[in-house]
Structure 1
Amino acid sequence: MTDSATALAYVESHLDDSLDRLFALMRVPSISTDPAYAEQCRVAAQQLTDELTALGFAARVAPTPGHPMVVAHHDGEGPHVLFYGHYDVQPVDPLELWKRDPFDPVLETRADGTKAIVGRGASDDKGQLRTFVEACRAWKETAGKLPVRVTILFEGEEESGSESLEPFLHEYADELRADFALICDTSMWDTATPGLTIGLRGMAGGQVTVRGPSRDLHSGLYGGPARNPIQVLTNILADLKDKDGRVTLLGFYDGVHPLNADVQASWDALGFDSRAFLGDVGLSVPAGETGVGVLEQSWARPTAEINGIWGGYTGEGFKTVIPAEAHAKVSFRLVGDQDPDQVWNAFEDHVRARLPGDCTAEFNVRGGSRAISLASDSPPLAATRAALDAEWGKSALLASGGSIPVVNSIRSILGMDSVMVGFALNDDNIHSPNEKYDLNSFHKGIRSWVRILDELGAMANAEQPEAATA
């Protein structure tokens, strides 16, 4: 048997032990956004550190102004990879909607006979990060080594804004820098089709406030002659898109590139059902850009969305006022080479150009990030895809996803690209009650990482003769 075959056999014979270790981590309520759980975040970090140390990693709990990081290193031949995951979880509210204690995980058998791990953090991200740790364990227990050199970074604030992440990356850049990063916090296409995320949309967003009269006014006295900030703001926001669903901001589509033909072909082969996609949320008529498919809109096109709007009296009953001000939260998902600062500045210009007399606007920008695009034929991604194809028996989908800020941080601070592969499913209820992770995702996720590590090591060996000749 080859080393990888032996490691895969180990995964099969020790799956129950792997589940026990996952359950132990899930029992720790490491809710990062609530200060009451700060000690539990430290407990989770220490638990992972102790485990990695026992596996032969040089591991430590690294303090930050917020929750600690877990940093671990293991020598190996071949390329140096940085694996990123996060051990913190979302709050569990509303608790009454859970079928059981969120921090008392269970393996649940469903009506169709399939099994799922249920509990907070099952999918996001404890179950995902554990697939990688268990793959490392399989290699160490069978071969006594890892096929590649590995650095691990587990964050404790991903679910609460990652305030400590970028300062930490800057401070420890020399220690954390590797050839490329591996991230397991994304999804599969379906239960049988693995996915590789090769693009992430960027983000620009913030809040706009339109002010008119000096105070709220009685609409019976001032209705008609007085400017109504809600009416002004809604008119301005309505102008964000034309009749064909295209965003009207000046220069908005600068840097938006046509979809790669190979990627388009792989998406077309999926048989995506846009009617079912919309039907699941009670809709039936596609909106957005005319002539652009639903899947392409979701994965590869920029958007402008109004995320919240308020002003005037919003309590029970009725109060006939013209409000002094109105507010809206607006966000833009970005693709290609779109510049988040340019997009937000164009939005401010759009608002100011439409402000009538006696009205002013104030903006509170939340910040932004550029989109990430990865070459679909890069050696690390090609090796990862080959490993996934071997494990799942079908070609991995090359997909695009939402914003994952850490990918931008790793690229801008450490100068590395990331390979994003995950085994979550869209129905895993992440951030919601009754979060779950299919046992098949956990099981084959471990096996997939065993194969990926092997392929990455083989990739380095294959490059060696050429390097020697050079």
Structure 2
Amino acid sequence: MPAVQDSAVGRVLACVDEDLDHARSRLFELLRIPSISTQPDHRQDMQRAAEWLRGQLEELGLQTAIMPTAGHPKVVGFHPGPPGSKAPRVLFYGHYDVQPADPLDLWHSPPFEPQLVEGPRGPRIVARGAVDAKGQSMMFIEALRAWKTAGGGIPLPVIVLMEGEEEIGSPNLEPFLKANQADLRADFALISDTNMWDIDTPALTTRLRGMCNCEVTLKGPGMDLHSGLFGGSALNPVNVLARILGDLHDKDGRIQVPGFYDKVRPVSSGQAAEWQSLGFDEAAFLKGIGLTTPGGEKGVQALQRIWARPTADINGIWGGYAGPGSKTIIPSEAGAKVSFRLVPDQEPQAIFEGFQRFVRDRLPTGMQVSFQAFGMAAGILIDTDTVWARAAKEALQQEYGRPAVMIGSGGTIPVVEQIKRVLGIDSLMMGFGLDDDQIHSPNEKFELKCFHKGTRSHALLLGKLAG
């Protein structure tokens, strides 16, 4: 990197450090807005949060607009970078909506009155949205601010896209991406909505599991029946459904849906060795959630089961009487919610069709079945041999004094797949959350150290890409 660029980066990092209290105050302003996307009563708060973000981006010199959708609006800002810049154009994606705060009585402080409290690892920010994802989104905005203030200006072409529907599945994101494809053209997307390995070890998330989320309903007799009069003759949908779902896994934890593993690729030996070297303590992991015995496929290393192997889970099951006391009936119907977490190359629609065959092959004659799909997303594997991934590794190494770990995520971030499919660009997932941040739970928090070093890391990344 040229000496002049090194000097600029030094000034920018010093600015981040000196401005930390103001940056936290700005984040607190955003956290005070209860932008709960799923609740209609908060529609005005959603608009208020969008307008607040527009103001912040306009202060930084971005050409900014609030763009309506069929649901909540998107906030989009554009900056061309310095004249003649040959640096990659970055599309930063974040979201300003948050989960509901319920149950309120479990919060130690009001969820939309952010607090800076002392924790075991130093000060932490406690509020709904602190880490998911207002705090993580503001790290990038604060990095832009530091470059504008101390680095001579934003050093490369930037697009900022903030949406307000991530917590409800981003129903209007794909149409928005398609309608604005030309304006959103970039070399890669940067997303900070993931975790570090631990508070001292940075990470890039290189793979996400996909999702096939569905419902199955069995219908037997035309009405609930007296179990004494009809038991032994009438088929019981709850019994049948329980037996069928009990066949989903064999004794070794492998999923029995036809063709389920046909496109599942094994993890490379190098990746498996890197994950094994992390020293993941599955016993401690399970103890923290009140369990002692691991599930999943036998003979497969723990992190591979969580990050790189597909799963099938019954998320809910119902049928018959579940009130106090007893009611001796044969129910007329039974149902279950079933989700499959998928790995790259597995096709969600093919898995859904395989599950339907699995159920129908075990269905007694005379019983009816119906299916409904709720959400489909493909798994993602991200190339780390790119200009931006190498720059991110260098930035994180410089900030933390140790190499970034290439980790997986067992969760699903549909926007990554949509950006790849619609815009044709890969994502760089450089997040600074921790496993104990209580995302979606009461007392959600974001360590101040993570917010600070995350902002510095983003500033370093911009400098390395520009240089």
Task: Give the TM-score, by structure 2 length.
Answer: 0.96
Q: Which residue number in structure 2 is paired with residue 466 of structure 1? A: none
CA shift for structure 1 position 103: 1.0
Tell me the distance in 1 between the aligned counterparts of 2:121 and 2:62.
38
**Aligned partner of 1:252 among 260, 278, 281:** 260
Tell me what 2:220 maps to: 212
CA-CA distance at 1:113 after TM superposition: 6.0
What's the CA shift string for 1:43-77, capped at 9, x where partnerless?
11111111111111111111112111110011122
1:52 maps to which of 47, 57, 60: 57
Counterpart Cα distance in 2 of 1:400 and 1:457: 28
1:418 to 415, 423, 427: 427
The SS at the match of 1:2 is helix
Residue 38 (structure 1) aligned with residue 43 (structure 2): yes
Secondary structure of the corresponding residue to residue 430 of structure 2: strand
| 1:135-164 residue CA offsets vs partner (Å, 9 max, x unmatched) | 001111112222221000000111122122
Among 218, 222, 230, the residue aligned to 2:230: 222
Distance 2:250 2:108 in 1: 45
AA aligned opposite 1:174 = A
Partners of 2:151 and 2:285 lie apart in 1 by: 45
For residues 395-454 of structure 1, give each alpha carbon's deviation from its aligned partner in whole angstroms, at most 9, with x where no partner exists: 111111110011111111111110001101111111111111000010000000011111
Task: Identify if the C-alpha distance between structure 1 residues 50 and 308 changes in structure 2 by more than 3 Å, giving closer, same or farther.
Answer: same
- The worse-fitting range, judged by mean Cα deviation, of 434-443 and 254-263 is 254-263
The answer to whether structure 1 residue 191 and structure 2 residue 199 are counterparts is yes
Match of 2:69?
A: 64
Q: Which amino acid aligns with 2:458?
A: W
CA distance in 2, matches of 1:278, 1:430: 18
Secondary structure of 1:175's counterpart equals: coil
Q: Percent identity?
A: 51
In structure 2, the CA distance between the partners of 1:264 and 1:202, relative to structure 1 (3 Å rule), is same
- Output the CA distance in 2 between the equivalents of 1:31 and 1:217: 44
CA distance in 1, matches of 2:292, 2:108: 31
Relative to the length of structure 1, the TM-score reads 0.96
Q: Deviations for 1:69-91, whole angstroms, at most 9, x for unmatched residues?
A: 11001112211110000011111
Structure-2 residue corresponding to 1:465: none
Matches within 5 A, 1:11-410: 11-76=16-81, 77=85, 78-110=87-119, 112=120, 114-401=122-409, 402-410=411-419
Give me the whole-angstrom Cα distance separating, in 2, the residues matched to 1:341 and 1:154: 29
- 1:101 and 1:179 mapped to 2: Cα distance? 41
Q: Deviations over 1:185-227 (max 9, x none)?
A: 1111111111111111111120001111111110011111111
CA deviation map 1:226-267 (0-9, x unaligned): 111011111111111111111111110121111122222221
What amino acid maps onto 1:296 in structure 2?
Q
Is the partner of 2:162 in helix, strand or coil? strand
In 1, Cα distance between the equivalents of 2:274 and 2:301? 14
State the distance in 2 between where 1:367 and 1:137 align: 37
Following the alignment from structure 2 to structure 1, what is the Cα–Cα distance between the partners of residues 449 and 422?
Answer: 35
Equivalents in 2 of 1:325, 1:240: separation in Å?
A: 20
Distance in structure 2 (CA, Å) of the matches to 1:225 and 1:368: 39
Distance 1:113 1:321 in 2: 55
Structure 2 partner of 1:467: none
Which runs of 5 or more structure 1 residues have no equivalent in the other structure? 459-470
Cross-structure match for 2:7: 2
Q: Which amino acid aligns with 1:80?
A: R
Q: Is the 8 A contact 1:213 1:358 kept in 2?
A: no
Higher mean displacement: 377-386 or 244-253: 377-386
1:438 paired with 2:436, answer no
Q: In the alignment, residue 35 of structure 1 is paired with which amino acid?
A: P
> Which residue identity does 1:297 align to in structure 2?
R
Aligned equivalents of 1:28, 1:285: Cα separation in 2: 41
> Over the residues paired in the alignment, what is the CA RMSD in angstroms?
1.1
Unaligned residue ranges in structure 2 (runs of 5+): 1-5
How far apart, CA to CA, are the structure 2 residues paired with 1:96 and 1:286? 32
Equivalent residue of 1:368, what SS? strand
Measure the CA separation in 2 of the matches of 1:448 and 1:369.
Answer: 30
Distance 1:435 1:285 in 2: 27
